Amino acid sequence: MEITSMLFLLCFLPVSLIIYYVTGDKAKEGVLLGISLFFYAVGSLRYFLLFTAVVIITVALGRQIHKAEEKRIRKLLFIAAICINVVILCYYKYTDFAIITLNQLFDSDIGVRNLLLPMGISFFTFKAISYLSDVYLERIDLSDISPVHDALYLSFFAQIQSGPLTRYSGSFQVEKEKRLDLFSDGVYRFLIGFNKKILLANTLNNITSEVFSNSIENLSTPYIWLGSICYSLQLFFDFAGYSDMAIGISEMFGYRCMENFDYPYITDSVSRFWRRWHISLSQWFRDYIYIPLGGSRCEKRSKIYRNLFIVWILTGIWHGANWNFVFWGFCYFLLIAFERATGLPDKISSKLLKFIYRLLTLLFINCQWVIFRADDLRTGLQYLKRMFIPASNDITEKRTVIMIREYFVFIFAALLFSLPVIPWLEKKLEGKKWAKRIVDTILGLAIIFLFVWAMSFVIAGQNNPFTYADF
């Protein structure tokens, strides 16, 4: 069940909220856990029993790790719990990739299994690892916390499909004192995310689907550039839109949720881009892979680069079981390692050179999204070749002009709102009480109007699944 569907918006969410708020405080988490499991069953009935079993096993082993006094027993339980989650992830996500790779290397004919991914398995597994690691390292104390809370953390329906990868401690705690304010903030945030997804991401998808579904021979240079830029914007508004909706739903139920995006396209370096894009994933890899490997504290610089290499190869593989994702991760490793070795862009003193470096950073990121979007590595490299070695095609060049005219308003809006326009406006209005009230009222009415407009798209059947739901 998509959280942008009519079933979710008009039935599941309002009914769930009513049931949750008429329930007594002591039973709220149990009720929300039941709602979350029902949501998973509707969305992925085939894997519901598997998902439920893994949640129970993870929580049970987490509790045993917490209770165990002997260090060796704690370690064995921790390793077993991690292995169970990782093996399940690898089986469903990477078995076919491994078989295809073996067939290509050894000219064998092993049958591909065509396994379907359980809903949210990548996000669930990482949350499970986070939970188990924090229990093992005694960062959290489970003594006064119900196992129901643990299970809810792992299965909460607002975050199960595509995150954010919230932490058990600190970022998944119910807010009781300001519940009404948090609820209204959540509704506001949900509407913003819904508008981002339906009006911008889905509309830009009309362009990118056409461009990337064409055969390589038909692609002209302007056409593929239009598709690549629109895909960079589409992916941002798609995933940031989901994150806004997930944060909004969490707040409606009284839970704080960490931010996942911070206007990533205003970055001035590749390294800082990943402090703004999918923040929860970047922090997860930092805390559970990079730092345990030694992070930046290693005496030998070679080990620091080794750590970065491992993190970025794993980041690429996490995003997808295909060689283009491995290549995508490797390219990010190269650029981030380059910035660390040279100290760029901080060592640049000229404003002009800083601006040029920023443009080159965005160019690199855009090219990376082309590789990310491609069906395979070879196709992705052919796309890049078409972008940088001029190619012409009368039909697609005319289509480029037509699509720019047809979708100009949406492209311009996407470019504009990928920048921190609203925060800039709010800063300008600091101390201007009445002006701020007027602007807030206008923005609120605009968001409601856009939501009604977006709903008309959904009713008309113009709705696409979230891109990151495939991961």
Chain-centroid distance of CA 250 in Å reads 16
Which uninterrupted H or E stretch holds 58? helix 48-67
Give the span between the Cα atoms of 380 and 328, in whole angstroms.
10
Do 265 and 361 form a contact (C-beta atoms < 8 A)? no
For helices 221-252 and 394-417, the axis angle rounded to 10 degrees is 30
Which uninterrupted H or E stretch holds 466? none
Give the span between the Cα atoms of 211 and 227, in whole angstroms.
6
Token pair in block for residue 435: 């002006």
Give the span between the Cα atoms of 134 and 141, in whole angstroms.
9
Main-chain dihedrals φ then ψ at residue 352, nearest 5 degrees: -65, -45
Give the span between the Cα atoms of 349 and 353, in whole angstroms.
8
What are 174's strand-pairing partners?
Answer: 255
The verdict on whether 319 is a catalytic residue reads yes
Give the span between the Cα atoms of 131 and 344, in whole angstroms.
36
What are 255's strand-pairing partners?
Answer: 174
Residues whose CB falls within 8 Å of the CB of residue 16, separated by 6 or more in sequence, listed in order: 32, 35
Residue type, 317: I
Of these residues, 66, 149, 278, 319, which one is catalytic?
319
Burial grade of 29 (CB within 10 A; 0-12, 13-18, 19 or more): buried
Return contacts of 389-392, CB within 8 angstroms, 24+ apart: 389/221, 390/221, 391/219, 391/220, 391/221, 392/220, 392/221
Residue type, 466: F
Show which residues are catalytic: 319
